Amino acid sequence: MLPFFMRIKLSNFLLLNIFDGRFILIEEKQFKSFIRDHRNETGFDMPEMLERYIVTLLASRIRDTELIPHPTFAERYLNICELNRASLYKEFADQCLFFVSLMPEYGQKRGLDVQYYASLGITSYYCVGDKIQDDRFIQLGNWFYILQKFIHSAVRPKAHLDLVDLIQSDKYL
């Protein structure tokens, strides 16, 4: 199930889908405000370029229905390595960042931790940076874990996380 703010955004999409270009601008403004508010609440300071990238990532992913890639993450990564195209690496790295930010517990149920998915995303960002000679993607790879934690804390309010921690720590529940 998508987090509460994502469900609201999806309903906005259904209302504004006939104005697709306008929708993207409205969504980006909403996400920019949301990210800035969260950044101010947490006292987290990040480079402006990374903030813009996160806002664009969240706004663009809101319409994507494929959160978990098919085939699996590993198979998709190997396919992308064979094709060796920067655009595919970027798309995959963005999907990894979005995925581990929203559902870091997903892999634990399958014996994989966040580091597994993050390493695929980090490597993909590095590949993009090397292929197109753009240091911004190297920086995204370097900041991957920090951005993942920041997006995760923005999407899942602290009260919710405290409740989950309490439930998981109680062996009788």
Could you read off the pLDDT of 119-137 as tens digits, one per residue? 999 999 999 999 999 999 9
Q: Which of 63, 71, 58, 54 is nearest to 11 (CA)?
A: 63
Burial class (CB in 10 A: 0-12, 13-18, 19+), 40: exposed
Contact partners, residue 55, CB within 8 Å, separation at least 6: 28, 31, 32, 35
pLDDT of residue 28: 83
d(C-alpha 68, C-alpha 141), whole Å: 20
DSSP state, residue 17: G
* DSSP calls for 50-104: HHHHHHHHHHHHTT---SS-SS-HHHHHHHHHHHT-HHHHHHHHHHHHHHHHH-T
Closest CA to 34 of 150, 121, 148, 164: 150
pLDDT reading at 1 higher than 80: no
The pLDDT tens digits of the residues spanning 81-95 come to 999 999 999 999 999
Confidence (pTM): 0.75
Select the more confidently predicted residue: 149 or 6: 149
The Cα–Cα gap between 124 and 144 comes to 11
